[in-house]
């Protein structure tokens, strides 16, 4: 039998239900794994070992795993941008280095209601702004497949923790690919839900019209189980969708015959590594073998998605981060001569270079004389992208692209060139612009590093994505591949 920490969420749930292991044993196995590998990858900002064991003992005492929840007694990690009551929540920033939220985010309440066990908070690019987790104010996270390479970002700590078997699943946030791109680079599954399907209450905002919380897991089946727990209407989130939530695990049928897949040619051209193209094209052949109709299509406006995103997201970021002024909470400089000097010095000291860059970009795009030329035009392009996707989904159930144009790149390789770093998310941004769901599923390797295939669908098409992703996953052995660390 493999070590406890090597198992999937679903497999561990079965162990608990059959009394073959206790939650305390499972939690301790993960803590031992963290002790073994964490110094090599730096996936956590905070490890909550004592709390986790306390929660595990309570689950064992109450036999909570007999009460219907597939998450009961199972350790997970939460990205450090999600508020956790009484537990440090830093956004990997000096600005919030000593911030202890007085409340839990809705997703945390939901996981706790399902008797989940919190092992800690995941490292990330500061305020979720980055594609490599090198912009953390504390330390970069390393890829478990090759520790000289990045895990992707901004949810790189969460991707690395799941890939390295430190936890069974993680909650990440996705503003422009921040769970799907690192999932691809680390060889795991990540699902970005429809905008509004999962509450953002308690998610520290980067770009409010784009941000979405989603599960990062070892399998598609596990993603469905986590989505079951966290999806649903929340009156505390004004963007929350009030819609019936199905049991997503019912779509894990293993068959995809008759599904229609479109392959946008814009995602298969210049800038995408040959090894990535080969892996995704091979995966498309597998889908055809499952009875799926596969056809090339075009989405001309998506070529502008990255430029559009890097106007809208920084604009929203500059507004959201204005609250960090050294007065109400977070880092504060107390030695300045005036309140204005204190505010300026607080922001100089609290924010890192990438955050400052995006605040300046956003402030410029929103400034008088430039608003119409940049921000307003970007919103119009966003509408075009959404309409184009809507038209495509009239013909296809799912669109397939690479999850990332490259495999994991070297630490420090792109930090000197922000534009090159921004292009790491080129495959992911359209789904955030349109608010549609997308899932990244491992589909092979290039030069010994994982490659992910992205499945995109129309709003509330999570059942179709889970059905197709699971059918593909079951037909291959990529989900069984684990890094040797």
- State the catalytic residues: 79, 154, 178
Give residue for tokens 């930090």.
Answer: 415
Sign of the alpha-carbon dihedral angle for 474, 476, 477, 480? negative
Give residue for tokens 């003992």.
Answer: 57
The string of DSSP letters for 227-289 reads: HHHHBS--TTSTT--------GGGG--S--TT-EEEEEGGGSSTTS-HHHHHHHHHHHHHHHH
Tokens of 480: 């069984």
| Strand pairing class (449-456; 398-402) | antiparallel
Tokens of 196: 């509004």
The string of DSSP letters for 77-96 reads: EEETTB-BTTB---TTSGGG
3-state helix, strand, coil in the chain (%, to 5): 45, 15, 40
Burial group, residue 289, by CB count within 10 angstroms (0-12, 13-18, 19+)? exposed
Total residue count of the chain as it appears in this document: 485
Q: Which of 177, 251, 205 is nearest to 440 (CA)?
A: 177
3-state secondary structure (DSSP) of residue 329: coil
């Amino acid at each position: 039998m493999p070590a406890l920490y090597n198992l999937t969420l679903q497999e561990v749930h079965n162990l608990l239900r059959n009394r073959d292991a206790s939650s305390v044993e499972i939690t301790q196995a993960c803590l031992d794994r963290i002790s073994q590998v964490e110094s090599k990858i730096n996936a956590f900002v905070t490890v909550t070992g004592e709390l986790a064991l306390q929660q595990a003992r309570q689950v064992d005492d109450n036999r909570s795993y007999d009460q219907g929840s597939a998450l009961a007694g199972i350790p997970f990690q939460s990205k450090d941008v999600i508020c956790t009551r009484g537990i440090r929540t830093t956004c990997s920033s000096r600005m919030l280095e000593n911030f202890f939220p007085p409340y839990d985010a809705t997703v945390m309440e939901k996981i706790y209601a399902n008797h989940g066990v919190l092992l800690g908070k995941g490292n990330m690019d500061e305020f979720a702004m980055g594609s490599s987790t090198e912009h953390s104010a504390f330390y970069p996270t390393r890829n478990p497949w090759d520790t000289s390479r990045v895990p992707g970002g901004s949810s790189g700590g969460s991707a690395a923790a799941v890939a390295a078997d430190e936890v069974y699943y993680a909650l990440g946030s996705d503003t422009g690919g921040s769970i799907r791109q690192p999932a691809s680079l680390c060889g795991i599954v990540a699902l970005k839900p429809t905008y509004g399907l999962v509450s953002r209450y308690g998610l520290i905002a980067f770009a409010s019209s784009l941000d979405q919380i989603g599960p990062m897991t070892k399998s598609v089946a596990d993603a469905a189980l986590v989505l079951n727990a966290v999806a649903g209407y929340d009156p505390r989130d004004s963007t929350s969708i009030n819609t019936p939530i199905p049991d997503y695990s019912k779509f894990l049928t293993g068959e995809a015959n008759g599904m229609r897949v479109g392959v946008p040619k814009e995602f298969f051209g210049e800038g995408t590594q040959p090894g990535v193209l080969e892996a995704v094209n091979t995966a498309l052949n597998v889908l055809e073998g499952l009875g799926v109709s596969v056809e090339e299509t075009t989405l001309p406006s998506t070529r502008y998605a990255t430029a559009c995103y890097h106007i809208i997201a920084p604009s929203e970021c500059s507004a959201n981060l204005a609250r960090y002024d050294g007065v109400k909470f977070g880092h504060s400089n107390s030695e300045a001569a005036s309140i204005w000097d204190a505010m300026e010095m607080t922001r100089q000291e609290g924010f890192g270079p990438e955050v400052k860059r995006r605040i300046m970009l956003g402030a410029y795009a929103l400034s008088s004389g430039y608003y119409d030329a940049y921000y307003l035009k970007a919103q119009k392009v966003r509408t075009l992208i959404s309409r184009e996707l809507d038209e495509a989904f009239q013909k296809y159930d799912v669109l397939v692209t690479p999850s990332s144009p490259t495999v994991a790149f070297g630490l420090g390789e792109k930090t000197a060139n922000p534009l090159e770093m921004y292009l790491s998310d080129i495959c992911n941004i359209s789904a955030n612009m349109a608010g549609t769901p997308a899932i990244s599923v491992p589909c092979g390797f290039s030069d010994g590093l994982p490659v992910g295939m992205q499945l995109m669908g129309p709003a509330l098409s999570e059942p179709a994505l889970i059905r197709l992703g699971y059918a593909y996953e079951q037909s291959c052995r990529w989900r069984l591949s684990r890094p040797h660390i």
